[in-house]
Amino acid sequence: MARDHASGFDNGRGVSARLALTGLVNGAVLTTSPQPVISSRREIMSDPTIIRRRTVSSGNSGASTQYQPYKDAAWGFVNHWYPALFSHELVEDQVEGVQICGIPIVLRRANGKVHALKDQCLHRGVRLSEKPTCFNKKTISCWYHGFTFDLESGRLATIVANPEDKLIGTVGITSYPVHEVAGMIFVFVRDDDFPLADVPPLEQDLPVRFPKHSDRYPHPLWPAVPSLLDENAVAMGIHRIGFTNWRIACENGIDNAHLLLHKDNSIIHAMEWVLPLGLLPSGEDCVEVLEDPEGPKGMLQWLGTDKWQPVLENKELGLKVPGLVGRPYRTSIVLPGLVAVENWPGEHMAQLEWFVPITDDTHEYWEVIVRVCNTPEELAAHKYRYERVYEPLALHGFNDCDIYARESMEDFYGDGTGWENEKMVATDISAVTWRKVASRWNRGIAKPGRGVPGARKDSSLRFKRAADGKRISYKTEQIED
Amino acid sequence: MARDHASGFDNGRGVSARLALTGLVNGAVLTTSPQPVISSRREIMSDPTIIRRRTVSSGNSGASTQYQPYKDAAWGFVNHWYPALFSHELVEDQVEGVQICGIPIVLRRANGKVHALKDQCLHRGVRLSEKPTCFNKKTISCWYHGFTFDLESGRLATIVANPEDKLIGTVGITSYPVHEVAGMIFVFVRDDDFPLADVPPLEQDLPVRFPKHSDRYPHPLWPAVPSLLDENAVAMGIHRIGFTNWRIACENGIDNAHLLLHKDNSIIHAMEWVLPLGLLPSGEDCVEVLEDPEGPKGMLQWLGTDKWQPVLENKELGLKVPGLVGRPYRTSIVLPGLVAVENWPGEHMAQLEWFVPITDDTHEYWEVIVRVCNTPEELAAHKYRYERVYEPLALHGFNDCDIYARESMEDFYGDGTGWENEKMVATDISAVTWRKVASRWNRGIAKPGRGVPGARKDSSLRFKRAADGKRISYKTEQIED
Amino acid sequence: MARDHASGFDNGRGVSARLALTGLVNGAVLTTSPQPVISSRREIMSDPTIIRRRTVSSGNSGASTQYQPYKDAAWGFVNHWYPALFSHELVEDQVEGVQICGIPIVLRRANGKVHALKDQCLHRGVRLSEKPTCFNKKTISCWYHGFTFDLESGRLATIVANPEDKLIGTVGITSYPVHEVAGMIFVFVRDDDFPLADVPPLEQDLPVRFPKHSDRYPHPLWPAVPSLLDENAVAMGIHRIGFTNWRIACENGIDNAHLLLHKDNSIIHAMEWVLPLGLLPSGEDCVEVLEDPEGPKGMLQWLGTDKWQPVLENKELGLKVPGLVGRPYRTSIVLPGLVAVENWPGEHMAQLEWFVPITDDTHEYWEVIVRVCNTPEELAAHKYRYERVYEPLALHGFNDCDIYARESMEDFYGDGTGWENEKMVATDISAVTWRKVASRWNRGIAKPGRGVPGARKDSSLRFKRAADGKRISYKTEQIED
């Protein structure tokens, strides 16, 4: 097993790419002294050709009107599948509350099955999850006045102290379909009036499946990319809050031009990779829109082909990358905001990243590594390596840099300035294509949150929590008696 | 004395009510196993009858237009008497600043008498209370430029460095009538132009007096309920900030349907009370509007009579309370937002609770136990029991649960959502009646605060204080030199 | 040297003024017992004459329309010179980011010269200063995507990973002229379209020069007041954030009527000064507007002449100052908001104070003592005394009181209330004159900040920082890898 992984990385390391900017020092001047390059076995990206100029029009041109729905989606897209919790975060009878797209959602596992309801009592609006109260396996009750809801349908089943009230059976709270797979709990976050009959399968909100679509989206290098829906697939990962709007976080995830940000990451240097200065699109067809009727909607980038060219030199700055050593990978993004990095951070894996809107300026950042483990031994070995390499060096070390990059954009985009004043360049074709496809295919724009944390930005409760040293959180903070 | 109290509780315990939901566990399933019930001597509420269905229309029906003034009163009602401080919080020459209904108020005791003025210098608007500066017993001066105000009238008496300025004697700051009684300092919080001649006596903003009105609001069980205005009345209690709008805090105070919230309170179990699941109104006359021309305006609930029926069973959930053991009590609420709980938490007592608006999302929560103590021994014994039982188990243990319930409603009501989307049921007749009577009889709706803390929700000063670990406060934080 | 200073203070002490309010106690009553007065050698201000009444109309009269531009300048005036950093805060190759008038500015020193550019990458709006990245002495690069800007002009010189992009050479970020003198770095904070050719010399935004203008603004007592532009001038001082709008901070700086605030300061008592109760204007000509075509624009107060009379008695309060002992000083203010205190805190010095707008409710408060030191020995002796006396007792001890006075005004002015409701008196002629002259002569009103910290008052990032115990800051908080 361990050898299997080692061989996996061996392949990766052989493919080429090394960042030559080792001497780069913050706030000081760099004299670029090209580093000796580790020999690469496959040099598919090592031939720097002349890059054609290609500019994507910026937001203040007419282009931005093509993604107006995206610009309107500060609170996210609804009527989509979102990850809510890992399976291990919700054991039998456990209750947790989360907020997605401004909608408070309570989850409870009963008899093994996970149920999800709107986490706002219809009576006086408190969150059921704040003080979990359940009298049986079929219902959840509000801790305040005992309004009791059917876990399946959300209908008001009874009121503890008012068992014959006329409201009973006639009203309810919205229920959300749940799909649990590969250690993850997904919730279909719907508008109150979105018909349950119209809920699509989870597969439509997950990346393109392989090898089923290997002909459509081929590449000689990719091993069959595992899916969460594969038999014996396992998802290992983390999730945490990001203090930015979900869209600028998404765009960071599919951005091919910010390799500079990652130059100092330990994983790069531990693997002895050499990264290019960046990747440039060599034509209009560098990205492919995913819009099969029954498939996920999004965009796939032809990384690792000659449709994207590595930049190895910047003469103006005297920077030169003499050769590349690295792991070949390919990225795509599908609605509602899920980035997939195929063949990363190791062989036979995919890293999935969701940017789940909480409010208009917070999101839950999910990083999950998917792998098929067909035997307990394989699983144990993968878990061992996950804990020692992938989580600390990839999910944290590498992606932690992305977190501050997203926070750095928040002031610019948070008040609307960025959408008007940004200046896009050739590589931003990724973000711009995503904006357009998301605008065309989303199933609904979330209304601004109402009656939930973050709907008002400035309640005294928020200041109280800050004064007490408590950050805003994704999960409901439960009341301690 | 101690025996007197013990006997008092004895009576109470005998009257009936015990919460049978002992097995209820947060987040887990409850198998209701009815508890053995302590035998009760008087079982006045132990006969569960069929409850008639009765629904109060919700806010989104026409009903809410009947209390539009209440919905407009986010910052409270003015031209009413509010408690400002306990007497012991303001010793001779002490100066304190508070904020009520968005109005900053400075209090000073001089020659034993308490004076209250608008705590905003007319010159540059600073709070006099931030750095108390007094040159004699008749005035208070602003620490910044020495503007000096007459304590009685608020008129500008002089300016330290400008003793002949034309403004002197021609302008001033608003003065507020003060009534100190039973260890409490009350301030009549008036609009700047509300005539002093029209200020009603404090009695009009306190609960109905007994035994004077025992015929009007009779009940065989109530001992004569003490009033703050009774000879030898003593008020013991606490006050602290609540991070919610004052109205939802009030409504929690008169809510008969949230017994579930209190099921785990130590006072219930220490006293071996058994509570019903809830109380249901059996008719329209379950509450009585208080609107005598010269009396307080509000609403009294006929608890402890057959107009409110205890709910002892919920078949849907398999919950059953076989008998009741508890303390009989009756609640009422009067303007400007004062809940009285008669016969609580002990015999010959009343618990008074004010919800004093500070801003539109904070209030000062007052809990006071009133008792008549005719001898020093009686007072000492009461104080001893207050400190060991009532304050820790009732004012804290029991009512602390109400504090988080109110905070839990704040997101829902704070942005206006709750007033539109709430769904009221039969028991909410209490809140709805209160809303209507408050709308009819209030003496003025407070204007949104201006130039005061909380008027802007998001000043950098608020963030600074939060970063420094300081919560928003009711009293002025005084400057340390 | 040390004797020179001693003699300087000797002169000062001799001039007269002592605060007789020694017995003044916060929150308690004062019985004024006039103190024995230290004999004074020159008693120029010791003859208390009758003060003529003079009232300046308040903001709610027509007067305020004369300074509407000032009222509109919540975010400050642009197209002016502002101090950005002390020279020692920016060593070779160091990069720092600051924010002035809502404009983020990055500074870098290369080959000894300081450059200033807009600190907002034109691509995605992140601040270059968050993670300083420079590849040579001529440029600064964005750490995110490698957009690289010419330090002189701000033009886009290259993109690290996109060296042939069409944007290169055609766009750029705004550059700001820099003038470094006497240990301070000044930046001309301009609108993006303010022509570089029109940038005035720094001298136009500094106080009037002496002895050049001694005839215009004479006083027998002033020694030639040093200027930052004098040969061998040295500026020693501090700067820190103030959590208020810059305008009310400015006005505190030229206020002659708040001596009460400073009565307890150690510097007063260490020097054995006796202050008057206040200073009153004796005529319209007590202040002089500075509006020479080529000179600074502002206002100078004829303190130390019979145009301002010390108030030595307040009969109403029984306060009497029998004589004065103090340091003669004169204050002025010029655009963009720079207070000069001549002859303070010692002989041959001037204290300069800038109130540099960061946002509409924060400013950077600069306190600088300027002195000419012609020899190393003189410099060493001055520095020694600066560190032991001026910084702790004047810049901190004395002016710290002004900081809380400004914070105390923020609630009143921050929501606009103060500008309408303030009541001005005779001594406020200083602030009112300043408001008018600033309205007439400013070179531009800053637009409200966009896309910068503070533009939105309530982002979750601000709450996160507060919860983490971090205050809002003037300098960019740099990312730690």
pLDDT tens per residue, range B171-203: 999 999 999 999 999 999 999 999 999 999 999
| Beta pairing, strands B103-110 & B95-100 | antiparallel
Are C2-76+205-441 and C92-193 the same fold in CATH? no
CA C419 to chain centre: 21
Most confident region among B102-111, B211-220, B448-457 by mean pLDDT: B102-111
C296-301: average pLDDT: 97
Q: Which CATH superfamily is domain A80-193 in?
A: Rieske [2Fe-2S] iron-sulphur domain (2.102.10.10)
The residue in chain C having the minimum alpha-carbon distance to the alpha carbon of residue A464 is C467
Q: Span C92-193: which CATH code?
A: 2.20.25.10
DSSP-assigned states of every residue in B419-476: HHH----GGGHHHHHHHHHHHHH-S-BPPPP-SSBTTBS--HHHHHHHHTTPPP-SSP
- Tell me if A344 sits within 8 A of A211, measured CB to CB: no
Cβ-based neighbours of B387, under 8 Å, separated by 6 or more: none
Task: For residue C331, name the pLDDT band (cuts at 50, 70, 90).
Answer: very high
Q: Are C27 and B93 inside 8 Å of each other by CB?
A: yes
The residue in chain B having the minimum alpha-carbon distance to the alpha carbon of residue A165 is B53
Task: For residue C56, name the pLDDT band (cuts at 50, 70, 90).
Answer: very low
Domain C2-76+205-441 has CATH 3.20.20.30: no
A427-437: average pLDDT: 96
What topology is assigned to B82-193 in CATH? Rieske Iron-sulfur Protein (2.102.10)
Task: For residue A326, name the pLDDT band (cuts at 50, 70, 90).
Answer: confident
Per-domain residue ranges of chain C: 2-76+205-441, 92-193
Q: Are A164 and B243 inside 8 Å of each other by CB?
A: no
Buried b (16+ CB within 10 A) or exposed e, B359-377: bbbbbbbbbbbbbbbeeee
Q: Reply yes or no: is the peptide bond before residue A336 cis, omega within 30 of 0.
A: yes
Task: For residue C476, name the pLDDT band (cuts at 50, 70, 90).
Answer: confident
Please report, for residues A86, A255, A331, the alpha-carbon distance to residue A12 in angstroms, rounded to integers and kept in the order given.
29, 21, 16
Residues of chain B contacting residue C404, judged by C-beta atoms under 8 Å apart: 130, 479
The residue in chain B having the minimum alpha-carbon distance to the alpha carbon of residue C24 is B135
C411-423: average pLDDT: 95
Q: Are A450 and B311 inside 8 Å of each other by CB?
A: no
pLDDT recorded at residue A402: 95
Question: Is the per-residue pLDDT at B32 higher than 60?
Answer: no
Q: Reply yes or no: is the peptide bond before residue A345 cis, omega within 30 of 0.
A: yes
pLDDT recorded at residue A418: 96
Q: How far apart are CA B211 and CA B225, in angstroms?
A: 7
Count other C-beta atoms under 10 Å from residue A61's C-beta.
Answer: 10
Count other C-beta atoms under 10 Å from residue A433's C-beta.
Answer: 22
B178 pairs with which residues across the strands? B187
B34-40: average pLDDT: 30
DSSP state of B200: P
Q: Which residue has the higher pLDDT, B24 or B294?
A: B294
HSE at residue C220, side-chain half, CA atoms within 13 A, is: 5
Q: How far apart are CA B346 and CA B371, in angstroms?
A: 10
Task: For residue C2, name the pLDDT band (cuts at 50, 70, 90).
Answer: very low
Task: For residue A284, name the pLDDT band (cuts at 50, 70, 90).
Answer: confident
pLDDT recorded at residue B42: 32
Residues of chain B contacting residue A162, judged by C-beta atoms under 8 Å apart: 51, 257, 278, 280, 311, 425-427
CA angle A149, A155, A158 (to 5 degrees): 55
Cβ-based neighbours of B47, under 8 Å, separated by 6 or more: none
Q: How far apart are CA B335 and CA B127, in angstroms?
A: 28
Q: C332-386 pLDDT, tens per residue?
A: 999 999 999 999 999 999 999 999 999 999 999 999 999 999 999 999 999 999 9
Buried b (16+ CB within 10 A) or exposed e, A260-285: bbbbbbebbeebebbbbbbbbbbeee
pLDDT recorded at residue A11: 28
Question: Is the per-residue pLDDT at A410 higher than 90?
Answer: yes
Q: Are A264 and C459 inside 8 Å of each other by CB?
A: no
C76-97: average pLDDT: 98
pLDDT recorded at residue A55: 39
Give the closest-approach CA distance of A366 to chain B in angstroms: 26
- Cα dihedral C98, C101, C104, C109, rounded to 10, equals -50
Pick B158's closest partner by Cβ from C260, C317, C422: C317
Name the phi and psi angles at B287, rounded to 5: -125, 155
Q: Are B463 and C467 inside 8 Å of each other by CB?
A: no
pLDDT recorded at residue C31: 31
- Tell me if A252 sits within 8 A of A333, measured CB to CB: no
The residue in chain A having the minimum alpha-carbon distance to the alpha carbon of residue C106 is A27
Question: Is the per-residue pLDDT at A353 higher than 50?
Answer: yes
Sign of CA dihedral C19, C270, C303, C259: negative
Report helix, strand and coil shares of chain A as percent, to nearest 5. 25, 25, 50
Give the closest-approach CA distance of C200 to chain B in angstroms: 33
Q: Where does B196-265 show beta strands of DSSP type E?
A: 233-242
pLDDT recorded at residue C481: 64
Chains that touch B (3 or more CB pairs under 8 A): A, C
CA angle A208, A246, A118 (to 5 degrees): 90
Residues of chain A contacting residue C359, judged by C-beta atoms under 8 Å apart: none
Q: Span B2-77+209-441: which CATH code?
A: 3.90.380.10
Pick B317's closest partner by Cβ from A158, A452, A455: A158
Q: How far apart are CA B69 and CA B146, in angstroms?
A: 40
The residue in chain A having the minimum alpha-carbon distance to the alpha carbon of residue C131 is A26
Task: For residue C151, name the pLDDT band (cuts at 50, 70, 90).
Answer: very high
Question: Is the per-residue pLDDT at C180 higher than 90?
Answer: yes
- Tell me if B395 sits within 8 A of B346, measured CB to CB: no
Question: Is the per-residue pLDDT at C42 higher than 70?
Answer: no
DSSP state of A209: P
Chains that touch A (3 or more CB pairs under 8 A): B, C
Q: How far apart are CA B27 and CA A128, in angstroms?
A: 10
Residue pairs between chains A and B whose CB atoms are closer than 8 Å: 195
Among C42, C359, C95, C350, CA closest to C225: C350
pLDDT recorded at residue C66: 87
Chains that touch C (3 or more CB pairs under 8 A): A, B
| C462 torsion bin: left (phi>0), alpha (psi -120 to 50), beta (else) | alpha
Most confident region among B368-372, C261-265, C270-274 by mean pLDDT: B368-372
pLDDT recorded at residue A62: 53
- Tell me if C384 sits within 8 A of C366, measured CB to CB: no
C385-396: average pLDDT: 96
Q: B118-169 pLDDT, tens per residue?
A: 999 999 999 999 999 999 999 999 999 999 999 999 999 999 999 999 999 9
Rg (alpha carbons) of chain C, rounded to whole number = 24
Q: Are A455 and B417 inside 8 Å of each other by CB?
A: yes
Residue pairs between chains B and C whose CB atoms are closer than 8 Å: 193
Give the closest-approach CA distance of A171 to chain B in angstroms: 10
The residue in chain B having the minimum alpha-carbon distance to the alpha carbon of residue C277 is B161
CATH architecture of structural domain A2-76+207-441: Alpha-Beta Complex (3.90)
Task: For residue A431, name the pLDDT band (cuts at 50, 70, 90).
Answer: very high
DSSP helix/strand/coil, B407: helix
Residues of chain B contacting residue A469, judged by C-beta atoms under 8 Å apart: 469
Q: Are C317 and B148 inside 8 Å of each other by CB?
A: yes
Pick B316's closest partner by Cβ from A137, A157, A467: A157
pLDDT recorded at residue B62: 53
Among C11, C37, C33, CA closest to C21: C33
Among A36, A94, A78, CA closest to A438: A78
Q: C198-222 pLDDT, tens per residue?
A: 999 999 999 999 999 999 998 877 7
pLDDT recorded at residue C62: 53
pLDDT recorded at residue A54: 36
Please report, for residues A341, A442, B75, B131, C95, the alpha-carbon distance to residue A208 in angstroms, rounded to integers and kept in the order given.
12, 17, 55, 68, 45
Q: Which residue has the higher pLDDT, A39 or C118?
A: C118
The residue in chain B having the minimum alpha-carbon distance to the alpha carbon of residue C265 is B481
pLDDT recorded at residue B63: 58
Determine the angle formed by the axes of helices A399-414 and A246-253, rounding to 10 degrees: 140
pLDDT recorded at residue B223: 79
pLDDT recorded at residue B120: 97
Q: B416-440 pLDDT, tens per residue?
A: 999 999 999 999 999 999 999 999 9
